[in-house]
A and B are shown apart, each in its own frame.
Chain A
Amino acid sequence: MLSIRNLHVQVGARKILKGLDLEVSTGQMHAIMGPNGSGKSTLAGVLAGRDGYEVTQGSVLYQGQDLLAMSPEDRARAGVFLAFQYPVEIPGVNNAYLLKAALNAIRKQRGEPELDAFEFLGLVRQKLQLMQMDESLLNRSVNEGFSGGEKKRNEILQMAVLAPTLAVLDETDSGLDIDALRVVADGVNTMRDPARSIVLVTHYQRLLTYVVPDVVHVLLEGRILRSGDAGLALALEERGYDWVRREARVA
């Protein structure tokens, strides 16, 4: 599904990712954990195609295609979804418009017909219910005046509607109270599918109480320094990151 080899990325003169390798198989959920400044958001941004990152070495293959050569919209249409750490407020563009335009762009790419208004509403209502969100959301501007928790739920709602093949969730758990965290976790769990891969980028272990990944990676100093099963997340929670750094130096 996703194959990242020796990825080097810099922002201006600052080197952030320094030879990152990551393999995510179809149907798997991976968590990438790391402290602030370790390069987590850079990785998410590079995967989605955000401006301002310079890839100096390495490759990213998504379903065998060179992901880095694709525009952000082509990535989305090919089934890649990024849940933003800081979802953008867009006054004047309403959620219904965005969901419909996005869904139809993706369906068109797959050679599927556009959904009519009735089918669209049926699909969205079901996902709204899943995310415990009110239908009035559809007529509100994208993220405008949303609380932090609402914004994150809206990201998961979009993911649920767009049904991507590869979802990258960038710190979707940050800034959530416990109730919102459960709703988001439920949303993510329902998205688990043998045909879908999910990459959770997170600072804390607490989301992983509700969402149990197949593989946990530790991103430190621009590289994956350690990988393991869900137990690794608990070890990080207890012991912090320093021991990973030390053991990596010894190795």
Chain B
Amino acid sequence: MNARSGADPVERWREALERATPNDGTFSSQRAEAFARFAREGFPGARDEEWKYTSLRRLAVRDFAPADRETALAATLLPAPPFGPHRAVLVNGYLHTAGSTLDTCPVGLRVRSLARTAGEADASTWLRIPAGGGTARFAALNAAFCGDALLIEADRPVTTDAVLHLQIDALGDEATMSHPRVLVRLAAGAGLRLVVHYRGDDRAERFVNAVIDVDAGERSELQIYRLQEQGAKSFQIERIEAALAREARLVVRDASLGGSLARLDLRARLAGSGASAELTGLFLADGARHLDTQPRVEHAAGGTASVQDYRGIAAGRGRGVINSKVVVNEGAQKSVSRQTSRNLLLSPGAEIDTKPELEIRADDVQCNHGATTGQLDPAALFYLRSRGLDERAARSALTRAFAGAVFSRMDLEPFANAVHAEFDARLDRLLAEVA
């Protein structure tokens, strides 16, 4: 692992892109354009308001080689968690066909990769880069480097409850950067439950730069169950960008538990009237982990509704950032939104920065927000101890209770069980360290 302090990653990655010719040179001019956009914006610095609490200095000085297809497909897969029979596996950004079960996909659900459908596709859709700030520049970097872009198309009726399990793994001994890219398109009236599970082994330090781009047609409903368990040494930057047509609905149940530094921009644009988004989740920043979550909903049409409800826990020297935002555009009357952020600090060295934002350009709306950050309630701790629970059991019970409100909303049982088990194990370990 080389750490070239002071070197400019933009120039290094430009050279890497020239050498790599991702996906046999398909869309090379579009990729060059995408990279040019990344290069123009460059690495976010301390003055960038949307990166105020998250410094990428540690990432900038690392030297990551672009992941290559051969190594990725030769990697030994990790066991697949039981999130359902329909599975697409991306390893280092490449579709691992042998590990996937795409041929058994139910009727009305299609999963394909860019490599196989480039001829019929149009680059401006495949390599679409979101407008706006935050992680948009990294979405451009993703477009420049991505291996297989995965296209998930659903036209199954919203009443069926098929689950697609998207396994996004970062594996191998090399310090690689990978750029998973997933496009999700829901036809009018379609429904899909999508489990997105990020994992990495701890054999190398890596950079995972993921983009999930969602088009939800009228009256469609997409439920995303996201579990981020990136490798402990790794960096992850992720952009989930969803556009919702009239009366479409997006539900996100998110658990961010892994990585050394991870940033998620989760953006929903309620483009059609009656569209709604419910973004809820939990992060656990223990050890020296840095987890930055930025959910954002844009109410672009009237009669739209959104909920953002996040709970964060930081322990050790962990650092959490939760910066939620609601934007109500001009004319988006009768919009309703609620932002809640509750945060728990388990040790004196831990820190959580929370900043709910509200930007309203319409006059007939109902928007509220609230944020709290605190420690475990000493009165509750004493109450439990006075009944015979030791301090560790009391802290554990109260921390689990704090997170439990999020778990209870994860109504996909195998997913909820997996998140719960990992959360409990991590909590046990960190409480044992404190004791």
Contact = CB atoms under 8 A, between A and B. Distances in A.
B326 to A, nearest CB: 26
A162 B380 contact: no
Given A88-B380, A90-B398, A101 B386 contact: no
B431 to A, nearest CB: 15
A123 interface: no
A87 B389 CA distance: 16
A90 B401 CA distance: 8
Contacts of B382: 50-51, 72, 88
Contacts of B393: 101, 105
A91 B401 contact: yes
Given A93-B401, A101-B397, A88 B379 contact: yes
Nearest to A103: B388
Interface in A63-117: 71-73, 75-77, 82, 84, 87-88, 90-93, 97-98, 101-103, 105-106, 109
B397 to A, nearest CB: 5
A112 to B, nearest CB: 13
Contacts, number: 80
Contacts of A224: none
B388 A73 contact: yes
B401 A101 contact: no
A201 interface: no
Contacts of B402: 92
Interface extent on B, as a size class? 20 to 34
Nearest to A90: B380
A167 to B, nearest CB: 12
B400 interface: yes
Contacts of A141: 401
A73 B397 contact: no
A202 interface: no
A101 B398 CA distance: 13
Contacts of B397: 93, 97-98, 101
Interface residues of A, number: 30
B13 to A, nearest CB: 46
Given A92-B402, A93-B397, A93-B401, A72 B386 contact: yes
Contacts of B61: none
Given A92-B400, A92-B401, A92-B405, A101 B388 contact: yes
Nearest to B383: A88
A49 interface: yes
Nearest to A86: B379
Contact of B383 (A75, A90, A109): A90
A109 to B, nearest CB: 8
Given A90-B380, A92-B405, A82 B398 contact: no
A48 B387 contact: no
Nearest to A79: B388
A158 interface: yes
7 A-B pairs closest in CB distance: A92-B401, A105-B388, A76-B388, A102-B387, A72-B385, A88-B383, A102-B388
Interface of A: 48-51, 71-73, 75-77, 82, 84, 87-88, 90-93, 97-98, 101-103, 105-106, 109, 141-142, 158, 162
10 contacts: A71-B385, A73-B388, A76-B388, A88-B379, A88-B380, A91-B405, A93-B401, A101-B388, A101-B389, A141-B401
